[in-house]
């Protein structure tokens, strides 16, 4: 049986996720969007490109959530996007209404799927999705640290002039202002990054990583989509192909790192079962406290949803 991934939302992130999945021959793709013409047009454009790319996967666009039936994975990108001057938390109220409805449709039409949430504020939207679907924690995963770590790694590589293949970045906590750059476990060819980049310069790189999305909005006028889409697809790949890759993701914590009852970014082993294992790193006390503080801020945000 062909594998199937549904992408909810046909904006820049969703359409790019669908395109990358099709280019990689990863699965049949269903793009679900409230404006059917938009979804159909994007799907048709991607489908026509696949003859050139030697990819035989099927791509359809629809406004009918029933087309998600049988999906192995659902990637949720629907919702309002940040504009300049907005924080991710500014999106909480408007996107909670949208994502709550999407979660209900996933529960109804793709009850066996694994869900990857991309919509901001990401940690809160992942927790809302888990609450509305009733899925186990291994089946609802937020795309957080995968993107933030990629940004961190890109800036480290730019500074040191080394191959991306030698950089192992790690960003934990909230996908937002309280993210935690785990310098203790971020290495370049096995060497801790703090030994290669002087402290003040490294602090600026961490700050640029934290503001990575805002920087793109300021330059381009809209939210990032290439890197978020690639990050989401890396998670889809790890799950569909049972790669057992350890990727920082937002998952519901049940005591790991001393945190319970909230989604937060931590290293997670991804395989065919979804979030199969939370990997507990031996973080120094300073980073462990920063992670706890980040989780506390996520809880404060979550309180507005009254789940």
Residue 43: closest CA among 6, 79, 75, 70: 6
How far is the C-alpha of 245 from the C-alpha of 259, rounded, in Å? 23
* Token digits of residue 159: 């500074």
Q: What is the dihedral angle through the alpha carbons of 105, 107, 110, 113, rounded to the nearest 10 degrees?
A: 130
Backbone angles phi, psi at 113, to 5 degrees: -80, 165
Asked about 51 being catalytic, the answer comes back as: no
Residue 238: closest CA among 268, 281, 280, 279: 268
Q: Please give the DSSP secondary-structure letter assigned to residue 81.
A: P
How far is the C-alpha of 169 from the C-alpha of 174, rounded, in Å? 16
Query: Could you identify the residue written with the tokens 């992942």?
Result: 126
Q: Which residues pair with 188 in a beta bridge?
A: 167, 191
Active-site position among 19, 25, 51, 175: 175
Q: CA-based angle 5:41:54, to the nearest 5?
A: 60
Which residues are annotated as catalytic?
175
């Amino acid at each position: 049986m062909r594998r199937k991934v549904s992408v909810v939302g046909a904006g820049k992130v969703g359409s790019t996720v669908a395109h990358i999945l099709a280019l990689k021959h990863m699965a049949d793709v269903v793009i679900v969007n409230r404006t059917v013409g938009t979804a159909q047009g994007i799907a048709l454009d991607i489908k026509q490109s696949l003859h050139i790319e030697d990819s035989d996967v099927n791509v359809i666009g629809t406004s009918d959530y029933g087309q998600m039936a049988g999906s192995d994975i659902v990637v949720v990108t629907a919702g309002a996007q940040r504009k300049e001057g907005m924080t991710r938390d500014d999106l909480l109220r408007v996107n909670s209404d949208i994502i709550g409805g999407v979660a209900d449709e996933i529960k109804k039409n793709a009850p066996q799927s694994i869900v990857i949430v991309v919509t901001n504020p990401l940690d809160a939207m992942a927790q809302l999705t888990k609450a509305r679907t009733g899925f186990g924690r291994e089946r609802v995963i937020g795309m957080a640290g995968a993107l933030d770590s990629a940004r961190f790694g890109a800036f480290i590589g730019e500074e040191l002039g080394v191959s991306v293949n030698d950089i192992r970045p790690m960003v934990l906590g909230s996908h937002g202002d309280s993210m935690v750059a785990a310098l203790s476990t971020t290495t370049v060819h096995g060497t801790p990054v703090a030994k290669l980049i002087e402290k003040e310069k490294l602090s600026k790189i961490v700050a640029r990583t934290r503001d990575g999305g805002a920087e793109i909005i300021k330059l381009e006028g809209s939210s990032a989509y290439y890197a978020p889409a690639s990050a989401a697809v890396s998670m889809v790949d790890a799950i569909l192909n049972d790669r057992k890759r350890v990727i920082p993701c937002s998952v519901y914590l049940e005591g790991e790192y001393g945190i319970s009852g909230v989604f937060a970014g931590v290293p997670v082993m991804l395989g065919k079962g979804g979030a199969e294992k939370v990997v507990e790193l031996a973080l120094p006390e300073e980073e462990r406290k920063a992670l706890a503080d980040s989780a506390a801020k996520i809880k404060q945000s979550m309180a507005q949803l009254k789940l």
